């Protein structure tokens, strides 16, 4: 039954793919969608405003 096998393969790949996407989203909020103002992670990095609490930080 090669058709059943093909289906099993499709399901497996889909599952793995979706898990990967979910993982990425939870960990960076971005899976490289490049939508409207976002930047593809391959070439660039999203940065947070985390430097705010540095000792030399000023006025914010």
- The footprint of another protein (CB under 8 A) covers 3-4, 6-7, 10-11, 13-15, 17-18, 21-22, 25-31, 33-39, 43-52, 54-60
**What is the closest distance, in whole angstroms, from the C-beta atom of residue 50 to another protein in the complex?**
7
- The Cα 29–Cα 16 span in angstroms is 18
> What would the 3-class secondary structure string for 9-27 be?
HHHHHHHHHHHHHHHHHHH
Which one, of 49, 51, 53, 48, lies nearest residue 27 by Cα? Answer: 48
**What is the closest distance, in whole angstroms, from the C-beta atom of residue 51 to another protein in the complex?**
4
**What is the closest distance, in whole angstroms, from the C-beta atom of residue 32 to another protein in the complex?**
9
């Amino acid at each position: 039954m090669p058709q059943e096998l093909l289906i099993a393969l499709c399901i497996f790949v889909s599952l793995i793919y979706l898990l990967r996407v979910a993982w990425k989203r939870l960990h960076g909020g971005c899976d490289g969608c490049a939508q409207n103002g976002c930047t593809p992670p391959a070439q660039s990095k999203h940065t947070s405003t985390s430097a705010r609490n540095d000792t030399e930080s000023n006025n914010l």
